[in-house]
Chain A
Amino acid sequence: MQTVNDAEEQLKFDQRIIDEQKIEPTDWMPDDYRKNLIRQMSQHAHSEVIGMQPEGNWITRAPTLRRKAVLLSKVQDEGGHGLYLYSATESLGITRSKLIELLQTGVAKYASIFNYPTLTWADMGAIGWLVDGAAIVNQISLQRTSYGPYARAMIRICKEESFHQRQGYEIMTVLAKGSVEQKEMAQDAMNRNWWPSLMMFGPHDSDSAHSGKSMKWKIKRQSNDYLRQKFIDQTVPQIEALGLEMPDPELKWNEDRGHYDSGEINWEEFYQVINGSGPCNYQRLKHHKKAHKDGEWVRTAVRAYQEKQTAKNQTNVA
């Protein structure tokens, strides 16, 4: 129920958004703004953490020590980025355990790309280059999001992520200039990861359930289709530089639009994967639950130590 006070606060909030001011945790905010942020930010946090799995799959099998060190660093970064985002989400008044519960019960989503398997080493190249590339396009835009803690987390993440895309592209460069088999492997990994990467930007603007409000509140600053086009335009020349075939035969420069045209995304596949029927959905959540359960002894030990210290201090005081 809206009170007179709420109505006044709402006006103040709206004005802040109009004035390009950030909203901070202690400010009054509409319930829907809070809910929308929790949904989007936790989805982002879950994506960072679940995204560690497909790449973690190749750490032990990286072809050289250098590649292994690079991949380890990258996966470590993703864990850190999950932490930044969970902490920022918690500033909205939801607990970490609730966020984890929502993920593990399938209520909260994560980027659908991580429900695809990483079949060959070339997937490490394609993921760094395409998936992180798409994520960076999105995250650069989100540095200007209206919620202060989210914007600051994005700035930190973008800074750290600068090497992720390049290490992926470097892997692709080496494979694309390697033996026939290596080049085929690079082509295959790019083809498989291309469409899911485009899906990362979400449904078309006309079909996006949350876009309208998110844009009005400046949580999102640019539309799904705008960002997807930006990604396509910057990536096509990179595909050409690798000397690989286009993953979509309809990718063609459109002089009139000043953009690349591209084929239609298979949205049925997108919704199937989002709703749990992707190749690895079951495996990803199962692994997350197992890792969480396996870590329970650490949390128990921390609590036990804390209790012991508290008891000790009380005895000392007495």
Chain B
Amino acid sequence: MTSENNQQSINQEQLAVYEVFIRSNRGLDHKHVGSLHAESPEHALMYARDCYLRRSEGVSVWVVKSTDITASQEDDIPNFIDPMDDKPYRHATHYVLPENVTNM
């Protein structure tokens, strides 16, 4: 159907990658669902609609150019994010309540 030339011009590698976020219901956060290639944000939005929203998966879509996302490095997580395991007092379960106090 498509000539070789045309295929060349819409070669996916030449298109920007967009990350797709969908809000499944009003009131909820947008959640990452996947990515796609597109030539413009508008195109990405339409493409996201066609790809990811065929079964009423959501009420709102965000598309963000992947290169516009600054991400942490998976390998570097132990250095980057301190789980604060040495600070158990940040959790309610750390505190012992008197037996007769049941509603806190």
Contact digits for A154-198, partner B, Cβ 8 Å, 1 yes 0 no: 000000001101110110010000000000000000000000000
Interface residues of A in 183-239 (CB under 8 A from B): 234, 237-238
A151 x B27 contact (CB < 8 A): yes
**A169–B104 touching, CB < 8 Å:** yes
Chain A contacts with B in 64-84, Cβ cutoff 8 A: 66, 69-70, 73
Report how far A237 CA is from B100 CA in the complex, Å. 8
List residues of B (29-67) whose CB comes within 8 Å of A's CBs.
29, 60
Q: Which of B3-11, B12-20, B71-79, B91-99 contacts A (4 or more CB under 8 A)?
A: B91-99
Q: Mark B81-99, 1 if CB is under 8 A from A, else 0.
A: 0000001011110111110
Q: Are A166 and B92 in contact (CB under 8 A)?
A: yes
Give the contacting residue for B101; candidates A22, A24, A162, A169; CB below 8 A.
A169
Residue interface mask A7-37, B partner, CB < 8 A = 1 = 0000000001000011010000000000000
Q: Is B26 within 8 A of A166, CB to CB?
A: no
The reply to whether the CB of B70 lies closer than 8 angstroms to some CB of chain A is no
Q: Are A169 and B89 in contact (CB under 8 A)?
A: no
CB distance from B94 to the nearest CB of A (A): 7
Q: Quick one: which of A66, A148, A165 contacts B26, CB cutoff 8 A? A: A148
Which residues on the A side are within 8 Å of B26 (C-beta)? 16, 21-22, 24, 148
Q: Are B103 and A169 in contact (CB under 8 A)?
A: no
Decide if B103 touches A70 in the complex (CB within 8 Å): no
Contact A70–B91 (Cβ < 8 Å): no
Q: Are A163 and B101 in contact (CB under 8 A)?
A: no
Q: Is the CB of A169 within 8 A of B97?
A: yes
Residues of chain A within 8 A (CB-CB) of B29 are 152
Contacts of A162 in B (CB 8 A): 91-92
Quick check: is A241 within 8 A (CB to CB) of the other chain? yes
Assuming A21-B26, A21-B27, A22-B27, is B100 touching A167 (CB within 8 A)? no
CB distance from B21 to the nearest CB of A (A): 14
Give Cα distance in the complex from A289 to B104, angstroms.
Answer: 36
Which chain A residue lies CB-closest to B92?
A162
Are B100's CB and A70's CB within 8 A?
no
Q: Assuming A21-B27, A70-B89, A73-B87, is B104 touching A163 (CB within 8 A)? A: no
In the bound complex, CA of A18 to CA of B64 (Å):
33
In the bound assembly, the distance between CA atoms of A190 and B56 in angstroms comes to 53
Minimal beta-carbon separation of B79 from chain A (angstroms): 21
- Whether B95 pairs with A169 at a CB distance below 8 angstroms is yes
Q: How far is the CA of A70 from the CA of B84 in the complex (A)?
A: 13
Q: In angstroms, how far is the closest chain B Cβ from the Cβ of A221?
A: 14
Q: How far is B23's CA from A301's CA once the two chains are assembled, in angstroms? A: 37
Contact indicator A238/B101 (Cβ below 8 Å): yes
CA distance A167 to B104 in the complex (A): 11
A66 to B89, CA, bound (A): 9
A167 contacts across to B, CB distance below 8 A: 89, 95
Would B60 and A165 count as touching, CB distance under 8 A? no
Sorted nearest first, the 5 A-B pairs with minimum C-beta distance are A22-B27, A162-B92, A166-B95, A163-B92, A22-B26
Interchain residue pairs with CB less than 8 A apart (16): A16-B26, A21-B26, A21-B27, A73-B87, A73-B89, A133-B104, A148-B27, A151-B27, A167-B89, A169-B95, A169-B101, A170-B96, A234-B103, A237-B103, A240-B100, A241-B100
What would 19 more interface pairs be, CB under 8 Å, given A66-B89, A69-B87, A73-B87? Answer: A16-B26, A22-B27, A133-B104, A148-B26, A148-B27, A151-B27, A162-B92, A163-B89, A163-B90, A165-B104, A166-B95, A166-B97, A167-B95, A169-B104, A170-B96, A173-B98, A237-B100, A237-B103, A241-B101
